[in-house]
């Protein structure tokens, strides 16, 4: 058996030496190391040999297998190298050509706008805080002066989570706005606070050109001694100028949100027609950009801030809507339909 293995070794090696094409290497591997090769047959037959012979033949056959595998690997490497050398000689492979540039991704337009807005508020001394997307009903509604059965709940089409407490309540939902973070932040620290909260919000609503079911909001609020509506106006005016241009005018009008008193909506003069009236601003000359107001005293009391000592302002804006206004995007659904022709423009 030993002689047979020696013979196999010299035959295999001499054949391997003469190979110079990659395709011949594969048939060599099948012939000498494959399932039906003589060496595999010897290894399979070991079980039938007497113990002493099994040991010596087994060791020799395994050593031969390892030797042939290693020889094959070395040969593969040298064949590959000579292939490359031949290609260079024939001029098919030009190693001096620059490599292919890797395809680089880019930030999504909503992320770009989110970061841009955060940078503006960071430059005014605000701090960025994030909160949970799955929220308790208490923070999303009750703590913001919106108890169960209050008609204001209808302002936010809510996706409830299938989670029931022992007393049959279903108090968990996908947050419908970033405002619950006002409560969470104020509960955990004392004034002064000056915070912005970027994040996704979720609404049970049909999509159209200006509505998505999942979109980004940025909440902002500041609470301290002597904060007035003038601080709110000044801060948001500065924000609008930085985002939409120095020459922008702003307009504040009364609006209703249960967690502010007074509540306002803020609009900027239409940059497409400079206030003359066009299709972008529906002929009004103004474009509404966010909701805001002075934090309601009951909200302050709920987090143990004394409304006789502290006052604050808050606002909330839609991030995709800001992009739509700034870049003239006509349909919000473009943001999440993964059309690269749209995404590559940003
Ligand atoms: C109001 C007062 C405050 O003191 C603080 C915050 C707020 C905002 C309030 N939490 C809120 O969510 N108001 S909102 O329902 O009117 O939404 C705020 C902004 O989100 C809108 O102005 C709009 O820009 C955007 N938005 C609302 N629904 C949307 C949407 N964007 C895309 N798709 C939707 N379905």
The domain that holds 206 is classified in CATH as: 3.30.930.10
Residue with CA closest to ligand 1 atom 26: 318
Q: What is the pTM of this model?
A: 0.74
Say yes or no: 32 and 170 in one domain.
no
Cα 102 to Cα 99, 105, 214, distances in angstroms: 9, 9, 32
- For the stretch 100-109, what's the b/e string if a residue is b when 16 or more beta carbons lie within 10 angstroms of its beta carbon? eeeeeeeeeb
For residue 128, give the 3-state DSSP assignment. Answer: strand
- Please indicate, yes or no, if residue 203 is contained in any of the structural domains: yes
Taking a C-beta distance cutoff of 8 angstroms, is the pair 270, 244 a contact?
Answer: no
By the 8 A CB rule, do 174 and 204 touch? no
The catalytic residues are: 156, 177, 203, 217, 260, 314
Residue 185 CB contacts under 8 Å (≥ 6 apart), including other chains = 129, 193, 195, 197, 221
- Segments forming the whole domain that contains residue 7: 2-90
Q: Is residue 99 part of a domain?
A: no
Same domain, 167 and 82: no
Q: Is residue 102 part of a domain?
A: no
Domain assignment of residue 45, yes or no: yes
Strand partners, 200: 216
pLDDT of 210 reads: 87
Domain boundary among 90, 123, 144: 90
Q: Which of 202, 217, 319, 332 to mutate to test the pocket of ligand 1 (most atoms within 8 A of CB)?
A: 217
Distance in Å, CA 249 to ligand 1 centroid? 21
Strand order in the sheet with 172-174: 134-136, 172-174, 159-160
127 and 230 both lie in a single domain: yes
Structure tokens at 139: 């923070």
Q: Which helix (H) or strand (E) holds 324?
A: helix 319-327
Q: Which of 318, 324, 332 to mutate to test the pocket of ligand 1 (most atoms within 8 A of CB)?
A: 318
d(CA 314, CA 156): 18
- Give the residue whose CA is nearest to atom 14 of ligand 1: 291
Does residue 222 share a domain with residue 142?
A: yes
Residue nearest to atom 8 of ligand 1 (CA): 316
Query: Same domain for 216 and 131?
Result: yes
Confidence (pLDDT) at 90? 83
- Which residue from 185, 219, 291 has its CB within 8 A of the most atoms of ligand 1, so it is best to mutate? 291
Residue nearest to atom 24 of ligand 1 (CA): 318
User: Does the residue 264 lie in any domain?
Assistant: yes
- Which residues have CB under 6 Å of ligand 1? 177, 179, 203, 205, 211-212, 215, 217, 219, 257, 260, 290-293, 314-318, 320-321, 332
Residue 77 in any domain: the answer is yes
If asked whether residues 15 and 44 sit together in one domain, one would say yes
**Is the domain of 45 the same as that of 114?**
no
Q: Helices 319-327 and 109-123 meet at what angle, rounded to 10?
A: 100
Kindly state whether residues 202 and 71 are assigned to the same domain: no
Give the pLDDT score at 312: 98
One digit per residue, pLDDT tens: the chain, 346 residues? 778 899 999 999 999 999 988 889 999 999 999 999 999 998 898 889 888 888 889 999 999 999 999 999 999 999 888 888 888 888 788 888 899 889 888 999 999 999 999 999 999 999 999 999 999 999 999 999 999 999 999 989 999 999 888 888 889 999 999 999 999 999 999 999 999 999 999 999 999 988 999 999 999 999 999 999 999 999 999 999 999 989 888 999 999 999 999 999 999 888 778 889 887 788 999 988 999 999 999 999 999 999 999 999 999 999 999 999 889 888 999 999 999 999 999 9
In the chain, what is the straight-line distance between the N-terminal and C-terminal CA atoms, in Å? Answer: 73
Q: What angle do CA 264, 269, 272 make, to 5 degrees?
A: 140
In this structure, the answer to whether residues 226 and 275 fall within a common structural domain is yes
Q: Are residues 221 and 274 in the same domain?
A: yes
Domain stop point among 90, 117, 140? 90
Cβ pair 105, 146 in contact under 8 A: no
d(CA 2, CA 231): 96
Q: Is residue 97 part of a domain?
A: no
pLDDT at 197: 98
Distance CA(308)–CA(330), nearest Å, equals 45
In a domain, 98, yes or no: no
> Whole-angstrom Cα distance, residue 283 to residue 116?
29
> 163 with 225, same domain?
yes
Residues 149 and 11 in one domain: no
User: In the chain, how many domains are there?
Assistant: 2
- Last residue of a domain, which of 30, 58, 90? 90
């Amino acid at each position: 058996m030993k002689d047979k293995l020696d013979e196999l070794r010299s035959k295999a090696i001499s054949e391997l030496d003469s190979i110079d094409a990659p395709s011949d290497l594969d048939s060599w591997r099948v012939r000498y190391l494959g399932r039906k090769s003589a060496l595999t047959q010897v290894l399979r037959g070991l079980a039938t040999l007497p113990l002493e012979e099994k040991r010596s033949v087994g060791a020799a056959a395994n050593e031969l297998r390892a030797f042939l595998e290693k020889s094959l690997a070395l040969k593969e490497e040298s064949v590959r190298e000579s292939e490359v050398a031949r290609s260079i000689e024939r001029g098919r492979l030009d190693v001096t050509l620059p490599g292919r540039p890797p395809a680089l991704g880019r930030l999504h337009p909503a992320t770009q706008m989110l970061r841009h807005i955060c940078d503006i508020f960071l430059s005014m001394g605000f701090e960025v805080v994030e909160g949970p997307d799955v929220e308790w009903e208490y923070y999303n509604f009750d703590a913001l002066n919106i108890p169960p059965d209050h008609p204001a709940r209808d302002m936010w089409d809510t996706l409830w989570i299938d989670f029931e407490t022992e007393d049959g309540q279903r108090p968990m939902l996908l947050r419908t706005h970033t405002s619950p973070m006002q409560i969470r932040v104020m509960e955990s620290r004392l004034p002064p606070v000056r915070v912005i909260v970027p994040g996704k919000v979720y609404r049970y609503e049909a999509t159209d050109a200006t509505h998505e079911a999942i979109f980004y909001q940025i909440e902002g609020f500041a609470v301290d001694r002597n904060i007035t509506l003038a601080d709110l106006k000044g801060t948001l005016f500065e924000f609008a100028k930085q985002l939409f241009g120095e020459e922008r005018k702003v307009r504040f009008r009364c609006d209703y949100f249960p967690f502010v008193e007074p509540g306002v909506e803020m609009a900027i003069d239409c940059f497409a027609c400079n206030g003359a009236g066009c299709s972008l601003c529906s002929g009004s000359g103004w474009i509404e950009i966010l909701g805001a107001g002075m934090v309601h005293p009951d909200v302050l009391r709920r987090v143990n801030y004394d409304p006789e000592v502290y006052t604050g302002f808050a606002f909330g804006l839609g991030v995709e809507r800001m992009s739509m206004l700034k870049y003239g995007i006509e349909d919000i659904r473009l943001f999440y339909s993964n059309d690269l022709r749209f995404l590559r423009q940003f």
